Structure 1
Amino acid sequence: MKRYFWLGLLSGLLLTACAASFSDPAPLPTVSPDAHYIFYNGHILTMNTGQQQAQAIAILGQKIEAVGNDSDVLALRRPHSVVVDLQGQTLMPGFVDPHSHIFNDAEQYLDMTVVEAQQVALENGITTIGAMYVTEEFLREMQEINRAGQLQIRTSLYLVITDNCGELQGDWWQEHAPTRAAGELLRVGGVKIFTDGGTCRRPALSYELEPGLGMGDLFFSQQEFDGLVAEAQAAGFQVVTHAIGDRAIEQAQNAIAAALAGQPNTLRHRIDHNSVIRPELLSRYGEIGIVPVIFGPYPLCEPFGPPPPPEYQAWEWPWRALLDANPGLPVAWHGDDPFFGRIRPLDDLYSLVTRNEVDQDGRVCESPAWQKAHAVTVAEALPMMTINAAYALFRDEEVGSLEPGKYADLIVLTGNPMTIEPETIRELNVALTMVGGRVAHCAAEMQTLCASTTALR
């Protein structure tokens, strides 16, 4: 379960090396529609089921022109092309984090501006996020950053109907309709509703963690929550539900099912966190068509509370069982940063496949055997962090996989997570991050690669 409380101590621990000195950049120049770049001699992980791996990729302007073998893609070379030899390195879509707080909590928990926090995210390979706690004031702040030309990460804003204590925040969200313009950096993605405790009060469980603790807090009755979801759906909003405990998950499933009334989930209503799932609730996600969005690491280094009783360990963060019960369902990962003390999806990938946790200092905390049983494979985890996460944001037609016509949002890694030992995934780093055909980050130690891509900056 996500035994989840605000971690006020993060500001002193989080990303010390990355927070040294930043200055907000000037507006970025636009990418020329004639700019042409070819990356070849690499391992291309496409996340496209029709062409899962390739050697080379060509980029024209902001979009992908071609993905294929070296000879076919190099044949597209033009007199002005910038050609980059990957020298066997791995290139894949940028990480898509559909549930993040790095922007709205940048100042309070990271001691950074939004633009500074954005650069840390880019350095760690994040190219698209869902900003998951958007007040009316923060909406205006993000709109101003976008107008100033300083936004580089594709950002979907989720407007809060309730705060984290379940208090309704008025009807201001109804004045800001969702947007779906292709390629937009900033959009209103939907709304967020809290069903149970976690950051305020306790998650709603079917059991007591310890005698006297109680079974947690639901913020609404089923009828009240049904009404909130139905109202948002009627206004055309995707609903993201914060649900940690199994009773909260059941309430959210019931409310979405009632709103859909047997129709497809075309608005892609989501349940996020899903930390404690009662076994009979597992298959309901697929039956209803709900998009589940789940954590990477389990809190081992700094536990949020006592462990579950042994008879309930199979309910807690049961990612293996969730995937097995819902074949074909686009299950997505989320980082929920900064609540685990770092902004580093590669550590989350490591945690998904090993169930170990990497703390903010790089220390590895070993998971118990019962949690290791919930592990997924690298081949399952990478789509959760790219194309499935893009689906959760209505961005899957634009990003999340490397296909001709999609935006060139990609990263280069220092190794191939598909072929190395799972224990060494945490040693990987992001060498290069590109968003829409522009390099937003190139690691200092990758001088050869950076020199090749100077023209892209």
Structure 2
Amino acid sequence: MKGTTMRAFRTGAAALMLSIGTIASAQTADRIWTGGPIITMEDDAMRAEAIAEEDGRIVAVGTSAEVMKFKGPQTEITDLDGRTLLPGFVDAHGHVTGGGVQALGANLLAPPDGTVKDIPSLLEVLRQWMRDNKAIVDRYGIIIGFGYDNATLAEARHPTRDELDTVSSTVPIYLIHQSGHFGATNSAGLAKMDITRETPDPAGGIIRKRADGEPDGVLEEAAHFSNMGKLFTALDAAAAVAIVKAGTDLWARFGYTTAQDGRATGSTIALLEGAAAAGRLPIDVVAYIDVLVDRDMAKAKSAPDYVGRFRVGGGKLTIDGSPQGFTGWRDKPYYDPVGDYPPDYAGYAAVTREQVFAATEWAYANDVQLLTHSNGEAAHDLLIGALGQAEDRHGKGDRRPVLIHGQFLRKEQIAAFDRLGVIPSLFPMHTFYWGDWHRDHTVGPVDAENISPTGWVRERKMIFTSHHDAPVAFPDSMRVLDATVTRRSRSGDILGPQHRMDVITALKAMTIWPAFQHFEEDRKGSLAVGKLADFVILSADPTAVDPETIDRITVEETIKEGTTIYKRR
């Protein structure tokens, strides 16, 4: 069923169910919320005064008089006390298990999310983490740090093996770059990964070397992805449970009631399936399996329904790398890249043309939803060609292919994605975290105005979704909302005012539109009778405050199917 038809059906069904419930009057709610603004994300009735839930589903939403008809002797009444209730946020793209690793490892993020400003402060954070987590280091034989960024370090470079050796020369250290596309390790880590001066670069990746030919400890793209797992072999079931719990708890803390694991492998799926079977998932988790690693699993396990709050939604393809790390694949040279790059350097593909065409052909032939990581213009050109061929052979259908990131786009590429029915899942948070870096180094001041070009998308009346890509950034819903509305960089610059969105549109990109992206708009993303009682309560109404203060709004409570799973102290 097409999106507009589905929405009309859902709205009519919701109205009918509310009418039936009101007439019957025998139905009583488990919980009712009232006393503050309620934003439904339903265009025909965007505001409500009260909402009621029974057995995890919404049974009434409307005026206080209408909803209070569902009050029974056991109904719990929650006074919002002026706070604002919205649908629980739906993660358009993130990596919830990676977020668990981030939550448990050393926090190497720059302000405002961490304290690391230069390499000496990075090394001190690692030493302090070692002191505070001696039992973990002794048990698992590894030191993990997440979130360093050469773009925010005073030295404007990655830490080297020699610097990390000053923290420990015997225990492997592995630092994951904030983009998730680079790693930095010490000599012990290189030894455990069997990386020497003779080790060749893998296809789609680079093992950086010193002048003497020895690896300097920094691994790019495929070299990072293919080797980091060798250091995690000592992690046991207890560590796996802790990682899942830390990740889902972090998402819930920011109001997400649905999380994504956006590049899963067989081991990740086993981890999440185990957590689901044990009833350990407080929120829904939908995973997309790397189609270049385990295509058969992606087909076999893809399913529309959750089991124990977990399901596989489809497949994930990655074409290029990180724009802020200069590994996104552009159609022109980078503006002023920091590092040892040739004059015409434009990044590179992480996969071959044949792999991209084969993956899209397979996805369309098997009706498997495909999410594709594509950052640079050259990567988009390749994706457009592959999707066009697959559609010619298999028809359009209702596949809802998704472009993940789309940082550097030409306007005509958006028109092509529109024709192909692609949902752009964009990354406006880049305007805050790396906007200044993009302006000064990656694409220059002209093209930086059009990173994550939400305005161009809405000109064509396309929907889009906004994501955080956590653990690339914290899954901070208010930071996502703020960036989509203001596009203000760390320095205070506004990048691309023509792409700033109004608050309701920005909220749709975090609720009903990602629910549609996941084929879940019939049960999530808006507040309507029959849908899941997935809510987030905010300290203020984001539509009523100065847009420049949105990032100061806090998530007060997260409710999954009527049950509070997070409450701010």
TM-score bucket (shorter structure): 0.7 to 0.9
Write the mapping of 1:43-442 to structure 2, written as runs, cut at 5 A.
43-107=37-101, 110-111=104-105, 113-162=243-292, 169-174=293-298, 176-181=300-305, 185-198=309-322, 202-209=327-334, 210=336, 212=343, 214-261=345-392, 263-298=395-430, 300-301=432-433, 306-324=441-459, 326-327=460-461, 329-340=462-473, 342-357=474-489, 365-442=490-567
1:284, distance to aligned residue in structure 2 (A): 2.0
Rounded Cα–Cα distance in structure 1 between residues aligned with 2:525 and 2:49: 18
The alignment status of 1:42 with 2:36, answered yes or no, reads yes
Judging changes above 3 Å, is the alpha-carbon distance between structure 1 residues 383 and 241 closer, same or farther for their aligned structure 2 residues?
same
Give me the TM-score of the superposition, normalised by structure 2: 0.66
Distance in 2 (alpha carbons) for counterparts of 1:378 and 1:394: 24
Look at both structures and tell me which one has the larger radius of gyration over its CA atoms: 2
Please give the secondary structure, in 2, of the residue aligned with 1:417. Answer: coil
CA distance 1:184–1:257, shift in 2 (3 Å): farther
- Corresponding residue SS for 2:313: strand
Secondary structure at 2:93 match in 1: strand
TM-score scaled by length of structure 1: 0.81
Secondary structure in structure 2 of the residue aligned to 1:240: strand
SS at match of 1:424: helix
**Aligned partners of 2:102 and 2:471 also within 8 Å:** no
In 1: Cα distance, 2:103 partner to 2:83 partner: 34
Q: Tell me the CA shift for residue 175 of structure 1.
A: 5.9
Find the aligned partners of 2:450 and 2:250 in 1 and give their Cα distance. Answer: 34
Alpha-carbon shift at residue 232 of structure 1 (Å): 2.1
Report how far residue 396 of structure 1 moved.
1.2
Does structure 1 retain, via aligned residues, the 8 Å contact 2:93–2:469? yes
Deviations 1:160-183 (A, max 9, x none): 123xxxxxx254425633111268
* Residue identity opposite 2:270 in structure 1: R
Judged with a 3 Å threshold, the aligned counterparts in structure 2 of structure 1 residues 204 and 390 are, in CA distance, closer, same or farther, namely: same
Query: Is the Cα–Cα contact under 8 Å of residues 292 and 331 in structure 1 kept in the other structure?
Result: yes
Asked if 2 retains the 8 angstrom alpha-carbon contact of 1:42 and 1:91, the reply is yes
Q: Deviations over 1:94-129 (max 9, x none)?
A: 111121113235225643621022112112101102
Residue 184 of structure 1: CA displacement?
Answer: 5.9
AA at the equivalent of 1:101? H
Equivalent pair of 1:279/1:315 in contact (CA under 8 Å): no
Q: CA deviation at 1:254?
A: 2.3
Cα offset, 1:300, TM superposition = 4.6
d(CA) in 1 for partners of 2:470 and 2:386? 27
Counting matched residue pairs gives 396
User: Residues 239 and 89 from structure 1, CA distance in 2 versus in 1: closer, same or farther, beyond 3 angstroms?
Assistant: same
**Maintained 8 Å contact 2:265/2:294:** no
Deviation by residue 1:279-319 (Cα, 9 ceiling, x = unmatched)? 21122222221111011312555666614234433442222
Q: Please, what is the CA RMSD of the aligned residues?
A: 2.3
Which of 228-237 and 257-266 deviates more? 257-266
CA drift at 1:265: 4.4
Unaligned runs of 5+ in 2: 1-26, 106-241, 337-341
Contact residue 99 and residue 470 of structure 2 kept, 8 A: no
C-alpha spacing 1:66/1:51, structure 2 compared with 1 (3 Å): same
Distance 1:174 1:407, change over 3 A: closer
Deviation at 1:85, TM superposition (A): 1.8
Which amino acid is 2:281 matched to? L
Q: Percent identity?
A: 25
Cα deviation, 1:44-100, whole Å, max 9, x if unaligned, reads 111111211111101011100011011111122111111112222210001111211
1:419 Cα shift? 1.0
CA distance, structure 1, for counterparts of residue 358 and residue 299 of structure 2: 19
Shift of residue 337, structure 1, vs aligned partner:
0.7
Report the structure, 1 or 2, having the larger helix content: 2
1:216-246 C-alpha deviation (Å, 9 max, x unpaired) = 2124454542221111222231001000001
